[in-house]
Amino acid sequence: MSRTRTNDSGDRMVSKDQTDSSSIDEGSCGGVLGGVGVLKKGPWTSAEDAMLVEYVKEHGEGNWNAVQKHSGLLRCGKSCRLRWANHLRPNLKKGAFTPAEERLIIELHAKLGNKWARMAALLPGRTDNEIKNYWNTRVKRLQRAGLPLYPPDVCLQALNDGQQNQDYSESSGGDALHNDVLDTNNYDIPEVFFDNLEANHGPLSYAPALPNIYVSSMRTQALGSLKNFNSLPTTVKQAKRTRESDALLPGFLGCDTDRLPSFDPAQIGSCKKVCRPFGPLFPYDASPNENLAPFGVSITGSNAFPNGNFSASDPLSKVVKLELPSLQVPNTVINSWCTCPPAPPSPPPLESINAYIQSPPAMQVQSDYYSPWNSGLLQEVIHESHAKNRTSDKSLSSSVVTTADGNGHSTMELYEAEWGDFGDPRSPLGCSTASVLSEHTPISGISLDESPPVKALPDGGDKEISAQLDFPRHDALLEFDCFEQSSDYLAALLGEDFGSEYKHVASPTSALSQGWGFGSCAWNNMPAACQMSELPPDDIYGASE
């Protein structure tokens, strides 16, 4: 299916041009330029390429509108620039993306969103258009397959970056919701990961549907439709287009050590910052019926859903509409709903929350709405619930976190299959993120409607969850060969400083040892199921120190 891209455009274009004189048309660049002639559109011919190359050799890049003037090329400057940038400039790498590149793209996209040019800058020899096409194709493919867009580890890392950003913003003393850093870095990221452990997307819910998917590119979909997905980075758009200002890079590279939150094991269970504006991009589906935040808080206008998915016609969104973009939600809301102890003044009584969860209004409470806030709230609730009444009150957790089918399968198994190319997908968080992603899988082959009802866990259910999340200890993650490879690759691209840190972060084990990256992400964003586990973190991940 895949066409060879190597040097194909020219030849193909020649034939095309030879047969299609209609390619000469009014160009978007003005069509007729200064009476010189009609600007040509359509595929480039080898002759045109040669002319352009010659021009660039002589005059260098830039001033593309002068190309037509100086070279006689009947192409608009824009077209020339694109042609040069995408096909003619030296050191362009042709051919299919390598697995390492694919992985890197995925990682970058998780961090940067649709910043194709920025990604291209980190992928030597690749163009933004190429990356975009690859991504869009991939999205479509995975969408069809009902797969999540991102592998668990990438999701988690992105989330962790968000945490870092949050930490940074908080430590910087600024208004976390209004400072530029956040505007730039903290894109609305869906959260509430533990919801996705719902049984209704039980393990392997769609795994059988994807046997033949191109494994190396198989992560996705989670994140919904292509449009939804593509729209998500609109948050990036709104984050203002700074020209390689690197404003976003900290988010992605996440390696500004000054910003790195220290990983305090003592903090692990404290659930202190469960609500974070998750960092760069976590594209996901924000279909209309998923806009309902827990407890009836429907956050509309979120930057995360700029694509119109917040349909006014959506009855669910009528509950409570916060018209502010998510990052502009009043602090009071945030404080009351998202922050954990110390003593949040306004969190609804646990009982009421429980009541709500257990007897939600007549609306969808699929827990598949991911606001930047509900995660924190839920985590808090869960945490409190767990702390308060570890043995008696399982209802809350069971409402939020449900086990799969009880047969011991976990969603990770799916990813194990999906992510074979990238080593062991059974990251400690694979369980959650996979579920999270699957939650937003409209085309998963299993509709939400078909999902089994959320079931309350029997006593000890949390342990069951824990058992189901019986992922290997983190030392098993050493199998993340490809991940390491891509990290190495990134290191090579970005220099040792970044590379080393990124690699450390990228490496689950090193992340754990360093106390961030996977480590901090792993726990702070740990699905409730994991957090509710009786096991201390060390018992989950294994001794990290």
Partner DNA sequence: AACACTAGCAACCGCGTAGTA
Partner DNA sequence: GTACTACGCGGTTGCTAGTGT
Nearest distance from C-beta of residue 250 to DNA, angstroms: 16
- Residues in region 242-261 near DNA by CB under 7 A: 242-244
Q: What are the distances in angstroms from CA 185 to CA 234, 307, 484?
A: 13, 19, 25
Do 483 and 153 form a contact (C-beta atoms < 8 A)?
A: yes
Do 321 and 250 form a contact (C-beta atoms < 8 A)?
A: no
- Per CB under 7 A, the segment of 61-69, 162-170, 399-407, 427-435 that binds DNA is 61-69
The nearer residue to DNA, 248 or 437, going by C-beta atoms, is 248
Tell me which amino acid residue 424 is. D
DSSP per residue, 16-77:
HHHH-GGGB---TT-SB-TTS-BPB-SSPPHHHHHHHHHHHHHH-S--THHHHHHH---S-H
| SS3 (DSSP) at 480 | coil
Distance CA 85, CA 238 (A): 26
Contacts of 491 (CB under 8 A, 6+ apart): 498, 499, 500, 502, 503
The nearer residue to DNA, 117 or 535, going by C-beta atoms, is 117
The nearer residue to DNA, 16 or 463, going by C-beta atoms, is 16
The nearer residue to DNA, 62 or 361, going by C-beta atoms, is 62
Do 112 and 119 form a contact (C-beta atoms < 8 A)?
A: yes
Nearest distance from C-beta of residue 117 to DNA, angstroms: 2
The nearer residue to DNA, 1 or 362, going by C-beta atoms, is 1
- Residues in region 25-54 near DNA by CB under 7 A: 25-29, 40-44
Nearest distance from C-beta of residue 460 to DNA, angstroms: 45
Nearest distance from C-beta of residue 435 to DNA, angstroms: 26
| SS3 (DSSP) at 250 | helix
Q: How far is CA 456 from the centre of its chain?
A: 30
- Per CB under 7 A, the segment of 163-171, 225-233, 251-259, 392-400 that binds DNA is 225-233
- Residues in region 66-125 near DNA by CB under 7 A: 66, 75-79, 81-83, 85-87, 96, 113-118, 120
CA 46, 48, 49 angle in degrees (round to 5)? Answer: 65
The nearer residue to DNA, 65 or 513, going by C-beta atoms, is 65
Nearest to 274 by CA among 78, 524, 15: 524
Nearest distance from C-beta of residue 202 to DNA, angstroms: 27
The nearer residue to DNA, 143 or 366, going by C-beta atoms, is 143
Nearest distance from C-beta of residue 3 to DNA, angstroms: 4
Judged by CB under 7 A, the residue of 33, 55, 56, 64 near DNA is 64
Residue with structure tokens 């991911």? 370
Nearest distance from C-beta of residue 235 to DNA, angstroms: 10
Q: Does 180 bind DNA (CB under 7 A)?
A: no
- Residues in region 305-324 near DNA by CB under 7 A: 307
Nearest distance from C-beta of residue 101 to DNA, angstroms: 12
Do 471 and 539 form a contact (C-beta atoms < 8 A)?
A: no
Identify the DSSP state of 474.
G
Q: What sections of 389-526 are H helices per DSSP?
A: 395-400, 411-418, 430-439, 461-468, 481-494, 496-506, 508-514, 518-524
Judged by CB under 7 A, the residue of 101, 128, 195, 290 near DNA is 128
Nearest distance from C-beta of residue 31 to DNA, angstroms: 8
- The site map against DNA for 186-215 (x = CB under 7 A) is ----------------------------x-
The nearer residue to DNA, 137 or 262, going by C-beta atoms, is 137
CA 416, 370, 181 angle in degrees (round to 5)? Answer: 100
- Per CB under 7 A, the segment of 129-137, 197-205, 425-433, 534-542 that binds DNA is 129-137
The nearer residue to DNA, 140 or 463, going by C-beta atoms, is 140
Nearest distance from C-beta of residue 226 to DNA, angstroms: 7
Q: Does 451 bind DNA (CB under 7 A)?
A: no
The nearer residue to DNA, 2 or 392, going by C-beta atoms, is 2
Nearest distance from C-beta of residue 409 to DNA, angstroms: 29
φ/ψ region of 406 (left if φ > 0, alpha if ψ in -120 to 50, else beta) reads: left
- The site map against DNA for 256-285 (x = CB under 7 A) is ------------------------------
Nearest to 201 by CA among 182, 221, 216, 181: 221
The nearer residue to DNA, 27 or 190, going by C-beta atoms, is 27
Q: How far is CA 261 from the centre of its chain?
A: 21
Nearest to 107 by CA among 497, 484, 434: 484
| SS3 (DSSP) at 299 | strand
Judged by CB under 7 A, the residue of 46, 181, 215, 237 near DNA is 237
The footprint of DNA on this chain (CB under 7 A) covers a number of residues equal to: 72
Nearest to 166 by CA among 254, 291, 268, 266: 254
Judged by CB under 7 A, the residue of 36, 170, 208, 227 near DNA is 227
φ/ψ region of 402 (left if φ > 0, alpha if ψ in -120 to 50, else beta) reads: beta
Q: Does 8 bind DNA (CB under 7 A)?
A: yes
- Per CB under 7 A, the segment of 139-147, 162-170, 352-360, 409-417 that binds DNA is 139-147
